[in-house]
Amino acid sequence: MNAVVNPRSATAVMADGSAEQAAEPAILFRVLNRVAIITLNRPTALNALSHPMVRELAALLERCRTDDAILAVVLRGAGEKGFCAGGDVRELYRMKMRGETGWQAFFIDEYRLDYALHTFPKPIVALLDGITMGGGMGLGQAARLRVVTERTKIAMPETRIGFLPDVGATHFLAVMPVEVELYVGLTGVTLSGADAVRLQLADLCVPAEWLASFEERLQRMSTDGELLPALRAVFEPPCNIVPHAVLGPFTQLILRHFDRRSSVERTVATLRHDLEREPPREVRQWLQATFDALMSHSPTMLHVTREALLRGRQMTLAECFRMELGIVSRVIEEGDFCEGVRAHLVDKDRQPRWAPMTLAEVRSERVRHFLASPWRSEAHPLAALGGTGLVD
């Protein structure tokens, strides 16, 4: 059973309302050589973010921003399995099913935190070792120095549960060519650390064992000169060999099948056509995995995600967060989110009953409805982000 941990009191509130004393707080904080080290400390939950954790992170970030004795921040996850697997979607599902409205406050606070990280005036280093997905990407992609390892597994798999790549993904995935962005965002494919560097979602790929001793090097780091190069020297090994990028050989396939002018139905059709031509084994495996993803994920959210990713390439970061919050609010209230979480994370029958069930049944006005903001510009919960350029 998942718990929502209050990092201040170290008390876990279980889903049935009972309380249990937690062994440690969910967020750890210490300062070493004028660098704040913030650790997500829920290793058994792959450091998934609860609402109290989001609020605690926001408070700590403000403390780091205003404290002149702190020059930089390092974000890391406890344990060896993951930096952060995302938000605690099971708890958000339970809240919605109980008729509670607190789930919306979670997203508002999470997006404000992510925006604050993106605009933070001091260098941030994110150690994206192990599983880094969803909300973990929202934290990590805001960093000035993003460090991955051979254990890193990066993904935005939200369409699988009837959601969309959020936490700023409509902005930060745009660093990639549009075809690759659509491939990553629609299929939810898992990227290796080497792939992340190649696709500009990471800056360094280092051996995981090198990160285990970073505090010793951080203690010796000079804080007198340029800080970001000094931090990079802490995390970059003297002789570093970046592993092979798994997706590299499939670049031409991605460019062919995920052309920005192609609808999702067209992409599925071209994948099916190439599968019928009996391609070589490795190509067939890629085609089949990609085809299966698009055929099993929420048809509505595939359409919505494609449009949101294309729109996001023309938007500011603040505008992207506002757009995402509007989509999230609609998809949780009236979309496929609850059914997707039920099928994949609660009942685990792996047979979501999407509404509608096929891509062809998704009406264009339904897609436009999800993309239309539920709020007037001045009333948007994130109206203050960026100061200007509100989304209607």
Answer yes or no: is 165 within a domain: no
Structure tokens at 90: 């099971």
- pLDDT single digits (tens) 229-271: 999 999 999 987 878 888 888 999 999 999 999 999 999 999 9
Same domain, 216 and 361: no
Domain boundary among 246, 274, 303: 246
- Amino acid of residue 373: S
Q: Which of 32, 109, 33, 36 is nearest to 67 (CA)?
A: 36
Same domain, 148 and 255: no
Whether 27 contacts 57, CB under 8 Å: yes
Q: What is the pLDDT of residue 23?
A: 67
Same domain, 128 and 108: yes
Query: Cα(255)–Cα(253) distance, rounded to whole angstroms?
Result: 5
Same domain, 296 and 267: yes
Query: Cα(177)–Cα(199) distance, rounded to whole angstroms?
Result: 9
Q: Which of 27, 77, 90 is nearest to 53 (CA)?
A: 27
Q: What is the pLDDT of residue 25?
A: 96
Same domain, 217 and 276: no
Whether 319 contacts 391, CB under 8 Å: yes
Answer yes or no: is 182 within a domain: no
Same domain, 242 and 288: no
Answer yes or no: is 367 within a domain: yes
Whether 260 contacts 178, CB under 8 Å: yes
Rg (CA), the chain: 21
263 backbone dihedrals φ, ψ, rounded to 5° = -70, 170
Same domain, 264 and 281: yes
Answer yes or no: is 343 within a domain: yes
Same domain, 237 and 258: no
Same domain, 219 and 257: no
Averaged pLDDT score across all residues of the chain: 92
Domain boundary among 246, 262, 282: 246
Counting every residue, how long is the chain?
A: 392
- Amino acid of residue 217: R
Query: Cα(187)–Cα(295) distance, rounded to whole angstroms?
Result: 10
Q: CATH number for the domain including 96? A: 3.90.226.10
Range of the domain at 220: 1-155+200-246
Whether 148 contacts 196, CB under 8 Å: yes
Q: To which residue do tokens 């002789």 refer?
A: 239
Answer yes or no: is 345 within a domain: yes
Same domain, 257 and 132: no
Number of domains the chain is built from? 2
Query: Cα(71)–Cα(279) distance, rounded to whole angstroms?
Result: 54
Domain boundary among 246, 262, 281: 246
Same domain, 93 and 222: yes
- pLDDT single digits (tens) 263-283: 999 999 999 999 999 899 999
3-state secondary structure labels for all residues of the chain? CCEEEECCCCEEEECCCCEEECCCCCEEEEEECCEEEEEECCHHHCCCECHHHHHHHHHHHHHHHHCCCCCEEEEEECCCCEEECCECHHHHHHHHHCCCCHHHHHHHHHHHHHHHHHCCCCCEEEEECCEEECHHHHHHCCCCEEEECCCCEEECCHHHHCCCCCCCHHHHHHHCCHHHHHHHHHHCCCEEHHHHHHCCCCCEECCHHHHCCHHHHHHHCCCCCCHHHHHHHHHCCCCCCCCCCCCHHHHHHHHHHCCCCCCHHHHHHHHHHHHCCCCCHHHHHHHHHHHHHHHHCCHHHHHHHHHHHHHHCCCCHHHHHHHHHHHHHHHHHHCCHHHHHHHHHHCCCCCCCCCCCCHHHCCHHHHHHHHCCCCCHHHCCCCCCCCCCCCC
Answer yes or no: is 195 within a domain: no
73 backbone dihedrals φ, ψ, rounded to 5° = -135, 140
Q: What is the pLDDT of residue 280?
A: 95
Residue 359 CA from chain centroid, whole number = 25
Answer yes or no: is 65 within a domain: yes
Same domain, 224 and 275: no
Answer yes or no: is 2 within a domain: yes
The ranges of the chain with pLDDT < 50 are 1-22, 388-392
